[in-house]
A and B are shown apart, each in its own frame.
Chain A
Amino acid sequence: MTNLAVLVPVALFLGSLGLVAFLWSLRSGQYEDLDGAAVRILIEDPAVEPNRGSPDGHSLDGQ
């Protein structure tokens, strides 16, 4: 009985943690473009893109 008093709340807490995480990801728009998300991972990041208009390309680090 005493171990149940610990285990049941733990189970409920972990479950609600998952629920909250899901609702957060839903709200932040992570399910809006599932097809796009699947292929974006294959797009290579552009090699450190220098800030346009500044020929030395340092202004990115400067800020």
Chain B
Amino acid sequence: MSCCAPGAEGALDIARPAGPTPEEVRLASRRLGDGLMQTDLSVPGVHCGACIQAVESALARLDGVIEARVNLSTHRVTVKWREGTFPPIVETLARIGYPAHLLDEDSGKDETLSELIRAVAIAGFGAGNIMLLSVSVWSGAEDATRDLFHWISALIAIPVLAFAGRIYFRSAWNALRHGRMNMDVPIALGVSLAYGLSLYETIHSGPHAYFDASVMLLFFLLIGRTLDHVMRERARTAVTGLARLAPRGAMVLRQDGGRDFLPLSEIGPGMRLLVAAGERVPVDGVVKSGTSDIDCSMATGESTPQLVSAGATVRAGMLNLTQPITIEAVAAAKDSFLAEMVRLMEAAEGGRARYRRLADRASALYAPVVHLTALLTFAGWIVVTGDWHRAITIAIAVLIITCPCALGLAVPIVQVVAARRLFESGIMVKDGSAMERLAEIDHAVFDKTGTLTTGRATLENAEEIEPEALRFAAALAAHSRHPVSRAILAAAGPQEGPVPHFDSVEEIPGHGIEAKADGSTWRLGRASWALGRNDAAGTVLSQDGRMVAAFRVRDTLRPGAADAIHTLKAKGIAVEILSGDGCGPVAEIADRIGVDFYRAALLPGDKAGHLAALAASGKKALMVGDGLNDAPALAAAHVSMAPATAADIGRNAADFVFLRESLEAVPVALDISRSSGRLIRQNFALAICYNAIAVPIAIFGYVTPLVAAVAMSGSSLLVIANALRLGNPAPSKKAGAGQFSARSKEPSPGNSDTLGPSRKAPLTQLQQGRAA
């Protein structure tokens, strides 16, 4: 698939969630001073040099734009413009085929990463130079030359310890202060003791100094830590780059009839808000005027749109489909439906809080053993020889040789490689512990609407309908956002020839679309309305009350859903469906994908309660869900996953976010997590083997700096090499997972529009046809 076909993606695609309005863009722009404004946008569609050029040159041509710069790594564009001009940035990007959306947070520089990279650079410099001098010492430099080299090494090591070592000292101190133990404690202790001992030896012209060991250790460990950070940051930017679904503000109708676009935080109860068709309801409210169809799938999980009119209650997050409505806010944003979900999420203590990471558990076992061994060695040498200096030197040598270089790398390196594999499969993982938790699951709980299904309907009987009728229906359906209309439009395929001409088109909420053409009235919608008979059911196209065609639609399964469920069951994982939708649709889906256990019509609290009950009975459950109503359950689960199309809050609550449409992402993530868990255990075993050999040598006092350097580097390399084995996909991989192969194009983070390219084509053509 070519990634770059500007324009072909259909700028006018109404099925796509609408981009930010100019008011929202203005709210999100920053003032730079000197009359300059800066707007940061996420543009998931940029993939190559041609995209960069297209975006930058199109934006640079706009009046008032000073500079436009694309960042290809983060899929973002930064536009600087003169205050008071407000160039149509988002509209221009949409027109050339790169839909853009606003970023949630201020895209500042990543300070932690800069600190880590600086530390790696300094440690690398120190390690290189000290090793240069150490090799000379090992190859026979003596007396004054050796002392000089030791002194120079000591000097070089000071800035390394101060700058690069600080990261470990800080973390170790934090752990100790809170009475915990982490891997950084033995590292910090080993590094500083090695330096202290070496300095003492240097002052007294001793033959052995361990400056190289202490600096090399920091260098290796920092590389692991930096890679870990880069991988996590990459996943995080990909997730924050996704289109935000919750509105940032709303159009408020003032008493005097004027209109103001206010940010969400300033909207209070009693205000009248205008919600246009295609917009989401910003806060909980009561409909004051207007009639429309409301899509509640994101808020409650119901798949069928609801008809609302004056007096009806609407909740934040619901999508207005057909006609503009005016609502009166009954709660501020912070007290709305969303806030209720946040409260439920906070109440649900998830697996994340209870879980102790493997590395922490290992170091809690490892550190006392190591420190005890060093102490016993010291005591033993005192008893046997009575030589204090010798006993201390050997005890410190034991600490240096057991300093968990390999152990410190054992976990992060595997997780970096695993996160990379997941990234290539379009799955973003928030942190390493998520993979550890996913590897343990024995239960998988799925939401229905938007997770097992795509939230779109498909036309089941497209073959039975005459092409001419379908063409007519599609032309009518193009005027509507209703799921059934979109299904008809998608089924009609690319249109050739002239598009039917209508004199007038009107969408009637709760009924359908009515159009007048050549003196006859066409209706597409509810059969009882289109045919004027009460006994008719389903969706039909009628001409002057006479039926032309009947349409049957049903929920579209997410691609790979049935396979994914089957694979999970084959792995011995119990699968359940928890849905907020009615019993009928849930039973049908459960039947189609072969799930025996399902519960329907659940409230958000019920879902979270069910997961808490599973956890209480010792089960470890994976929750996969997308809606606002799933967010508490995602937080309550042992580990959780959400599609890119999920509600913002659900994406933030989930440990994994998958960007591609297929649900195969779930078994793929499980596979990678399990194999990374295996590799981590192997790495632990390798590290323990290494210690079993090296520690006796150290205890008996045979360790020289050369032995320490060889042993430490050797064990680190071994652990890294073992981790890299994860990089090669297992040959026994199912052929069906082809789109997940490492060769495939880098995922398009934020490709959150749910229509595939093949479905987009007809829309574009139709729209263009209409415009012509």
Contact = CB atoms under 8 A, between A and B. Distances in A.
A32 to B, nearest CB: 7
A8 interface: yes
B57 A46 contact: yes
Given A39-B49, A43-B49, A33 B73 contact: yes
Contact of A11 (B74, B129, B145): B129
A38 to B, nearest CB: 8
Given A31-B117, A33-B71, A34-B73, A8 B152 contact: yes
B52 A39 contact: yes
A35 B164 CA distance: 27
Interface string A9-38: 001100110110011001000011111100
B573 interface: no
A16 B152 CA distance: 14
B118 interface: yes
Contact of B114 (A26, A34, A46): A26
B70 interface: yes
Contacts of B118: 23, 26
A36 B52 contact: yes
A26 B367 CA distance: 36
Contacts of B125: 15-16, 18-19
Given A33-B72, A33-B74, A15 B114 contact: no
Given A31-B117, A42-B49, A15 B71 contact: no
Nearest to A22: B121
A1 interface: yes
Contacts of A58: none
B4 to A, nearest CB: 11
Contacts of A52: 61
Contacts of B132: 11
A31 B156 CA distance: 26
Interface in B727-754: none
Nearest to B117: A26
B145 A43 contact: no
Interface in B339-371: none
A43 B73 CA distance: 17
A40 B49 contact: yes
A48 interface: no
A29 to B, nearest CB: 8
Interface string B109-140: 10000100110011001001100110000000
Contacts of A33: 71-74
Contacts of A19: 121-122, 125
Nearest to A19: B125
A4 interface: yes
A6 to B, nearest CB: 13
Contacts of A39: 48-49, 52, 72
Contacts of A31: 117
A25 to B, nearest CB: 10
A39 B46 CA distance: 12
A23 B121 contact: yes
Contacts of B461: none
A16 B109 CA distance: 26
Contacts of B129: 11-12, 15
Interface residues of B, number: 27
Nearest to B122: A19
A35 B152 contact: no
Contact of B52 (A11, A16, A18, A43): A43
B21 interface: no
Contacts of A12: 129, 152, 156
Contacts of A43: 49, 52-53
A33 B109 CA distance: 12
Nearest to B746: A35
Nearest to A29: B109
Contacts of A8: 133, 152
Interface in A36-63: 36, 39-40, 42-43, 46, 52
Given A12-B129, A15-B129, A46-B57, A36 B72 contact: yes
Interface in B395-419: none
Contacts of B53: 43
Nearest to A41: B49
B73 A1 contact: no
**Residue of B49, B117, B122 contacting most chain A CB atoms (<10 Å):** B49
B52 A40 contact: yes
Contacts of B148: 4
Interface in B47-104: 48-49, 52-53, 57, 61, 70-74
A22 B117 CA distance: 10
A19 B125 CA distance: 7
Contacts of B57: 46
Given A36-B52, A36-B70, A43-B52, A4 B128 contact: no
A37 to B, nearest CB: 8
A26 B121 CA distance: 10
A33 B145 CA distance: 46
Nearest to A1: B145
A31 B72 CA distance: 12
Contacts of A4: 145, 148
Interface string B139-172: 0000011001000100010000000000000000
A30 to B, nearest CB: 12
B346 to A, nearest CB: 35
Contacts of B144: 1
A35 B72 contact: yes
Contacts of A22: 121
Contacts of A32: 71, 73, 109
A16 B244 CA distance: 46
A16 B8 CA distance: 52
B70 to A, nearest CB: 6
Contacts of B61: 52
Contacts of A46: 57
A11 B135 CA distance: 15
Nearest to A53: B63
Nearest to A46: B57
Contacts of B128: 15
A7 B328 CA distance: 80
Contacts of B114: 26
B121 A36 contact: no
Interface of A: 1, 4, 8, 11-12, 15-16, 18-19, 22-23, 26, 31-36, 39-40, 42-43, 46, 52
Interface of B: 48-49, 52-53, 57, 61, 70-74, 109, 114, 117-118, 121-122, 125, 128-129, 132-133, 144-145, 148, 152, 156
| Nearest 8 A/B pairs, CB to CB | A36-B72, A39-B49, A35-B72, A33-B71, A35-B73, A19-B125, A42-B49, A33-B73
23 contacts: A4-B145, A8-B152, A11-B129, A11-B132, A12-B152, A15-B128, A16-B125, A19-B122, A26-B114, A26-B117, A26-B121, A31-B117, A33-B74, A35-B72, A35-B73, A36-B70, A36-B72, A39-B49, A39-B72, A43-B49, A43-B52, A43-B53, A46-B57
Given A18-B125, A19-B121, A33-B73, 4 more contacts: A8-B133, A33-B72, A40-B52, A43-B52
